[in-house]
Amino acid sequence: MLGAPTPVLSIGSGSAYANDRLAPAVAMADSGRVSVMGFDCLAERTMALAQIRRRQDPSAGQDERIGALVPLLRGYLSRGGKVVGNFGAANPDAAYEEFAARLRKVGLLGVRIGVIRGDDVHDLVTRLDCALPELGTTVGALGDRIVSANAYIGAAPIVDCLREDAQIVLGGRLADPSLFVGPICHELGWDLTDWDRVGHATMVGHLLECGVHSTGGNFEDPPYRLVPDPHNLGYPLADVDDGSVVVTKLPGTGGAVDELTMKTQLYYEIHDPARYLTPDVTADFTGVTIEDLGDNRVRLSGARGREWPSHLKVLVGVDQGWKAVGEMSYGGPGCADRARRAEEIVRARLDAFGSDIDDLRVDLQGVGSLFGDRLVGGEPTEVRLRLAVRTPNLEAARAAVHEVELLYFGPAGGGGATGSVVPALGVTPAYVPREQVRLETEVLET
């Protein structure tokens, strides 16, 4: 007698960062191919930008695409499709309010939305005076310059919301793979302390979280590595079962899902493949096997897991004053020499601000901004001077941009000046005992 078939969950990627394209997500939703979609909306930089928006307006700080996204997902949601995402960014409650309003506007009433709170641990890191190892100081030593602190949180609160029949789950700094680990473990009935299964789910989440990375985006390296139709890359999706996963993409979309693209993404940003630390598990990818099934289908298996880390990583936002950037282009014979002379002039003009300028960097883009003098070639035909200043003094920031603009008046041939002055919010890691991070969930209806 045959046993019951192994349950399989089809889950798709909907986003890899805060400004990702919506069209591939809509194609995934409309395909009928998946029942759950995970939307990763954050990175360190985008979280910092969200915190700046929230500081300027306490009702802001959520993902800025919600208003455009909800009408596009109307059909998918009306058919019962589920969405999980860190749309909350710096302000999960604002994300809920916007989701609810937009859902009502398109006539979707009674949608259950799970809201996850508690990743904001500003008070906790202050009370613990957490070390900031990258800066060589502590939270207490920086005082009021600490403007935010958000813990990377895992799949458990997502599962809690899904158990209460939430169709949409949103939170703040939900860790990237956890957006997929939550629904995988919930839908397949896996315990969150079954470490090998959670390690397997984490591998799946890692393969989906970065969107087109898995379908050939960052794999492309012309002329050595190319994928078909890179202008139309599709997002990846996965058919997950208890022992393996098959990753693929929608038919008719560009890119490739093959052994090489999977290897490229599998070991992307994990530092130690034997000990990939997430809030959910210490994952081990060293035993993963990859089988190319052809036709943009790849089967992976063999991920393992051990107990989750004792501490959670925290993204700490530090007020660094203002960032000023000014640019000017030079072209033709002697352009690099003229740009270097322009650098001398601007540096001399900014000497008046002395210690008010914390950091000043000048690059000749196209000549030495990435590799300095290690790559030496002939004289360039064009070069762009870029000046960047970080300072607590708004007057100094504005002066830096103005001085670059004044390069129109010499050295000769400068053109295309641009400049900006924006708040500078740096981010740096800290670590807190996981048991001290108090999370809460609430499921609400539109």
Q: What is the pLDDT of residues 296-337, one digit of tens each?
A: 999 999 999 999 999 999 999 999 999 999 999 999 999 999
CB 344 within 8 A of CB 410: no
Closest C-alpha among 40, 326, 8, 403 to residue 209: 40
Number of H helices, E strands in the chain: 13, 20
User: How confident is the model at residue 1, as a pLDDT?
Assistant: 43
Q: Is the peptide bond before 228 cis (omega within 30 degrees of 0)?
A: no
Average pLDDT estimate for 406-433: 96
Collapsing DSSP to helix, strand or coil, 419 comes out as strand
Cα 42 to Cα 218: distance, rounded to the nearest angstrom: 18
What structural domains does the chain harbor?
A: 9-118+153-309 (no CATH), 316-429 (3.30.70.100)
> What whole-number percentage of the chain has pLDDT above 70?
97
Collapsing DSSP to helix, strand or coil, 186 comes out as helix
User: How confident is the model at residue 2, as a pLDDT?
Assistant: 53
Q: What are the structure tokens assigned to 133, written together?
A: 């190892």
Q: Alpha helices, DSSP H only, in 57-155?
A: 66-72, 74-78, 92-105, 122-128, 139-142
Q: What is the pLDDT of residues 13-30, one digit of tens each?
A: 999 999 999 999 999 999
Average pLDDT estimate for 392-403: 97
Cα 293 to Cα 296: distance, rounded to the nearest angstrom: 7
pLDDT at 199 over 80: yes
pLDDT at 4 over 90: no
Average pLDDT estimate for 265-289: 96
Q: What are the structure tokens assigned to 87, written together?
A: 């749309």
Cα 269 to Cα 251: distance, rounded to the nearest angstrom: 28
Collapsing DSSP to helix, strand or coil, 97 comes out as helix
Give Cα separations from 101 to 114, 126, 169, 209, 252 (angstroms): 15, 35, 16, 27, 34
Collapsing DSSP to helix, strand or coil, 268 comes out as coil
Q: What is the pLDDT of residues 349-389, one digit of tens each?
A: 999 999 999 999 999 998 877 666 655 667 888 999 999 99
